[in-house]
C-alpha cells in the first residue's frame, strides 16, 4: 500500500483557509483520491478539548500554550494522521507544526530551538509533503476575521503580533521553498484556487507514478 500524502494549510488570520481547505479536498476527491480533513489544534477528542483552552483561556503563558499544542499534536499524529497515511489516504490538515513556529515562536517569542526540540522528539517522521501558505497583509486578514465575529485570543492580538506571525511564516517559506508553496491570498479567490489546483495536479501526478 502506497502511503498517502500529507498536506497542510497555513496562514494568518482571515486569509481564507476554510474556503480553500474545502476546495483542496473537493479537488483531490474529483481526482479519485481518498481524503481525510483534520485540523490543529484539534483533530482527535483529547486535542479538541485542549483546543478550547488554547483558544479561550486568558493568561496562558507562552510555554504553557506551546506545550498544550504539542500535547494535542502528538495524540493527533499517532491516533489519526499516521494511521490514515498508512492506509493510503491523504490527509489535509488545517494548520500544523509551522503554526507553532509562527505563533508561539514569532508571535510569542519562544525560541525556535525549543520548538524544534519538541518537533523532533514528538512528531519526527510526520512532516507535510506539501504546505500551502496563504499569505496576505495583516490588515486585510484581520478585517475579514473580525467581520466574522466571535473572535478567539489570537484574532484579538495586536497588529504587531500578527505581523511577526506573518514574517515567521515567510521566513519558513524562504527556508523550505520546495515544501512550502506561498500563495498570495489577497488576489481574487478564483486566482488563488487556480494556483492551488496547478500545484495539486502536479503532486497527484507524481504520487501516481
Ligand atoms: P484556526 O483559527 O485557524 O482554527 O486556528 C486556531 C488558532 O490556533 C490560530 O489563531 C492559530 C493558533 N495556533 C497556534 O498558535 N499554534 C499552533 O501550533 C496551531 C496549530 C494553531
Q: In tens digits, what is the pLDDT along the chain, a chain of 209 residues?
A: 899 999 999 999 999 999 999 999 999 999 999 999 999 999 999 999 999 999 999 999 999 999 999 999 999 999 999 999 999 999 999 999 999 999 999 999 999 999 999 999 999 999 999 999 999 999 998 888 888 888 899 988 999 999 999 999 999 999 999 999 999 999 999 999 999 999 999 999 999 99
The finding on whether 95 has its CB within 6 A of some atom of ligand 1 is yes
Per-residue pLDDT at 148: 86
CA distance linking residue 5 with residue 90, whole number of Å: 5
| Collapsed DSSP state (helix, strand, coil) of residue 178 | coil
The finding on whether 168 has its CB within 6 A of some atom of ligand 1 is no
Cα-to-centroid distance, 206 and ligand 1 (Å): 30
Cα-to-centroid distance, 2 and ligand 1 (Å): 30
| Collapsed DSSP state (helix, strand, coil) of residue 56 | helix
The residue among 114, 128, 133 whose CA lies nearest residue 69 is: 114
The finding on whether 69 has its CB within 6 A of some atom of ligand 1 is yes
- Nearest residue (CA) to ligand 1, atom 13: 99
Per-residue pLDDT at 124: 94
Per-residue pLDDT at 104: 98
- Nearest residue (CA) to ligand 1, atom 16: 100
Per-residue pLDDT at 65: 98
Per-residue pLDDT at 143: 87
Per-residue pLDDT at 149: 82
Atom of ligand 1 nearest to the CA of 107: 15
209 alpha carbon, distance to own chain's centre: 27
Q: Is the dihedral of CA 179, 182, 185, 191 positive or negative?
A: negative
Cα-to-centroid distance, 41 and ligand 1 (Å): 6
**DSSP assigned state of 123:** S
Rounded to 10 degrees, what is the CA torsion of 189, 192, 196, 198?
110
Per-residue pLDDT at 1: 85
Per-residue pLDDT at 144: 87
C-alpha cell recorded at residue 187: 488576489
Cα three-residue angle 16-19-24, rounded to 5 degrees: 115
Q: Are 62 and 104 in contact (CB under 8 A)?
A: yes
Cα-to-centroid distance, 209 and ligand 1 (Å): 35
Cα-to-centroid distance, 13 and ligand 1 (Å): 9
Please give the order of strands across the beta sheet that includes 90-94. 35-39, 90-94, 6-11, 130-135, 180-184
Per-residue pLDDT at 151: 86
Amino acid at each position: 500500500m502506497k502511503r498517502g500524502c500529507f498536506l497542510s494549510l497555513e496562514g494568518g488570520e482571515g486569509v481564507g483557509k476554510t474556503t480553500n481547505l474545502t476546495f483542496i479536498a473537493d479537488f483531490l476527491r474529483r481526482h479519485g483520491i481518498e481524503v481525510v480533513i483534520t485540523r490543529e489544534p484539534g483533530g482527535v477528542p483529547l486535542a479538541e478539548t485542549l483546543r478550547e483552552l488554547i483558544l479561550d483561556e486568558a493568561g496562558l503563558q507562552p510555554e504553557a500554550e506551546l506545550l498544550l499544542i504539542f500535547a494535542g499534536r502528538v495524540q493527533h499524529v499517532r491516533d489519526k494522521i499516521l494511521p490514515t497515511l498508512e492506509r493510503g489516504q491523504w490527509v489535509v490538515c488545517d494548520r500544523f507544526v509551522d503554526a507553532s513556529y509562527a505563533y508561539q515562536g514569532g508571535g510569542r517569542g519562544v525560541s525556535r530551538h525549543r520548538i524544534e526540540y519538541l518537533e523532533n522528539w514528538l512528531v519526527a517522521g510526520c512532516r507535510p509533503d506539501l504546505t500551502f501558505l496563504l499569505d496576505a497583509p495583516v490588515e486585510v486578514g484581520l478585517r475579514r476575521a473580525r467581520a466574522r465575529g466571535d473572535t478567539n485570543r489570537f484574532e484579538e492580538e495586536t497588529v504587531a503580533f500578527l505581523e511577526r506571525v506573518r514574517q515567521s511564516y515567510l521566513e519558513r517559506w524562504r527556508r523550505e521553498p520546495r515544501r512550502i508553496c506561498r500563495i498570495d491570498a489577497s488576489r481574487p479567490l478564483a486566482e488563488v484556487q487556480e494556483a492551488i489546483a496547478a500545484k495539486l495536479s502536479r503532486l497527484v501526478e507524481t504520487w501516481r507514478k
